[in-house]
């Protein structure tokens, strides 16, 4: 744990992240450029879904990242809750808007994919769709809790409890397509027996997934650095008022 705590020092983190950020941003741009080319030009249309399958290259990475970001947010929240480390709380707080944007994107692209394929934009009786909408509300609730309390420590504790309780929704989302009859198709990549997707579509999907991951790292670092600087500004303002 001592290694983690060393990097959790805000000053050391700001210095380290300033060095990593340009590389992370450059990697994001390169991966998106390659991924978009493969998704829109380099990959074939699906035999049954035709060209609508191209929505998958946005929808699936956004949905995977929405789930992964929530888990990471809960892990950071738990670390902040146990060790009361401000940087863990800051990381958790800044995961939320990124995760919410991934969730919103997955919901929008899901509706845009569902309309031509299922004949409906939305189906309230579908467990995958409704549990994913709950994930979006969990993100919004988490962000709202941070705004309710003036004391950042109290806000962090309350938000952490919500993040940890909300974790129960993650396996529900994942297994919803197995537990209930849904319009949404079952898992076709991370499943027992290997992926059912043709490699010509699987590779562009993975490139886009890594583009989303690099984007997440870049934006999270940007937001954590901004929050650390804002807290420093507040401390400086107090010092100035006392001087």
Nearest-10 Cα torsion for 53, 54, 56, 58: -170
Interacting residue with another protein among 34, 71, 75, 108 (CB under 8 A): 108
- Measuring CA to CA, how many Å separate 70 from each of 44, 65, 107? 32, 8, 15
How many residues line the site for another protein (CB under 8 A)?
A: 39
The residues in 17-56 that bind another protein, with binding defined as CB under 8 A, are: 36, 40, 45, 50-52, 54-55
The residues, any chain, with a CB within 8 Å of residue 5's CB and separated by 6 or more, are: 83, 85
* Beta-carbon-side half-sphere exposure of residue 9 (alpha carbons within 13 Å): 8
Give the CA count within 13 Å in the CB-facing half-sphere of 109: 18
CB of 180 to another protein, least distance (A): 26
Cα–Cα dist 196/142, whole Å: 36
Contacts to another protein from residues 155-174, by CB under 8 A: none
**Should residue 122 be labelled a site residue for another protein when binding is judged by CB under 8 A?**
no
Q: Given the rule CB under 8 A, which of 2-10, 82-90, 99-107, 185-193 is the region that contacts another protein?
A: 99-107
Q: State which residue, 81 or 224, has the beta carbon closest to another protein.
A: 224
SS3 46: strand
Name the residue with tokens 């309710």.
148
Among the listed residues 27, 104, 162, 197, the single contact to another protein using CB under 8 A: 104
| 27 and 221 Cβ atoms separated by less than 8 Å | no
Among 20, 33, 115, 200, binds another protein (CB under 8 A): 115
Interface residue list for another protein (CB under 8 A): 36, 40, 45, 50-52, 54-55, 58-59, 62, 97-98, 101, 104-105, 108-109, 112-113, 115-116, 215, 218-219, 222-223, 225-227, 229-230, 232-233, 236-237, 239-240, 243
């Amino acid at each position: 744990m001592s290694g983690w705590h060393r990097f959790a020092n805000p000053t050391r983190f700001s210095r380290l992240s300033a060095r990593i950020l340009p590389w992370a941003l450059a990697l994001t741009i390169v991966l998106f450029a390659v991924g978009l080319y493969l998704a829109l030009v380099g990959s074939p249309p699906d035999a049954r879904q035709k060209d609508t399958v191209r929505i998958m290259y946005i929808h699936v990475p956004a949905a995977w990242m929405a789930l992964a970001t929530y888990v990471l947010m809960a892990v950071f929240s738990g670390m902040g809750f146990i060790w009361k480390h401000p940087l863990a709380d800051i990381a958790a707080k800044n995961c939320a808007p990124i995760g919410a944007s991934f969730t919103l994107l997955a919901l929008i692209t899901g509706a845009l994919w569902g309309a031509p394929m299922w004949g409906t934009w939305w189906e309230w009786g579908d467990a995958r769709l409704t549990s994913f909408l709950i994930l979006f509300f969990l993100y919004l609730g988490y962000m709202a809790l941070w705004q309710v309390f003036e004391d950042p420590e109290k806000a962090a504790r309350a938000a952490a409890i919500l993040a940890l309780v909300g974790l129960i929704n993650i396996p529900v989302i994942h297994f919803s397509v197995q537990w209930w009859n849904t319009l949404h198709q079952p898992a076709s990549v991370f499943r027992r027996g290997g992926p059912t997707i043709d490699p010509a579509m699987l590779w562009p999907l993975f490139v886009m997934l890594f583009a989303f991951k690099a984007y997440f790292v870049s934006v999270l670092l940007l937001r954590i650095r901004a929050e650390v600087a804002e807290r420093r500004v507040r401390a400086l303002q107090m010092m100035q008022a006392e001087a």
